[in-house]
Amino acid sequence: MDRSDEIHTFRYSGMRADLSSGAVSFDYTVEGFGTSHAFTDQFCFPPPPTPLDDEVADTVRLVLELLNVAVGLSYFKLMAPRRVELGSVRLAPTARRWAVQLYRQGLAQFAYRHDLPHILDLDLDGSDGPEATARSDVVFHARRPLVAVGGGKDSIVSVEALKAAGRHPAVFALRPVRLLEEILELTEVPAFKVRRVLDKRAAPILKEQGGYKGHVPVTAVNTLAAVVTALLNGLGPVVMSNERSASAANVEWHGRPINHQWAKSLEAETLLRNALTAQAGLTNACFSLLRGMSELHIAQLYAKIYGYDTKMTSCNNAFRFFARRSERWCNDCDKCRFVFLALAPFVERRRLIGIFGADLFDDLRSLIGYRELLGLSGFKPFECVGEVLESRVALGLLANDPGWAGSPVVAALSREIGQLPSAAEIAQVFTAVPPRFAPEAYALALADMQQRAEAMGSQPRLA
Question: What is the tens place of the pLDDT at every residue in 267-299?
Answer: 999 999 999 999 999 999 999 999 999 999 999
Residues 44/232, Cβ–Cβ less than 8 Å: no
Buried b (16+ CB within 10 A) or exposed e, 105-124: bbbbbbbbebebeebbebeb
Mean pLDDT of 137-146: 80
Write down the pLDDT at residue 278.
96
pLDDT tens-place string over residues 75-111: 999 999 999 999 989 999 999 999 999 999 999 999 9
Write down the pLDDT at residue 462.
36
pLDDT tens-place string over residues 399-425: 888 888 889 999 999 999 888 888 899
Residue 41 has pLDDT above 50, yes or no: yes
Residue 206 has pLDDT above 50, yes or no: yes
pLDDT band with cut points at 50, 70 and 90 for residue 322: very low
The pTM (predicted TM-score) of the whole model is: 0.94
Question: Which of 400, 386, 290 is closest to 345 using CA atoms?
Answer: 400
Cα 204 to chain centroid, rounded: 28
Residue 458 has pLDDT above 70, yes or no: no
CA distances from 308 to 115, 158, 302, 459 (A): 41, 13, 10, 21
Residue 314: phi, psi to the nearest 5?
A: -115, 0
Write down the pLDDT at residue 6.
61
- Percentage of the chain surpassing pLDDT 90? 80
**What mean pLDDT is reported for the chain?**
91
Buried b (16+ CB within 10 A) or exposed e, 185-212: ebbebebbbbebebbeebeebeeeeebb
Other Cβ atoms closer than 10 A to 143: 16
Euclidean distance between CA atoms 62 and 67, whole angstroms: 9
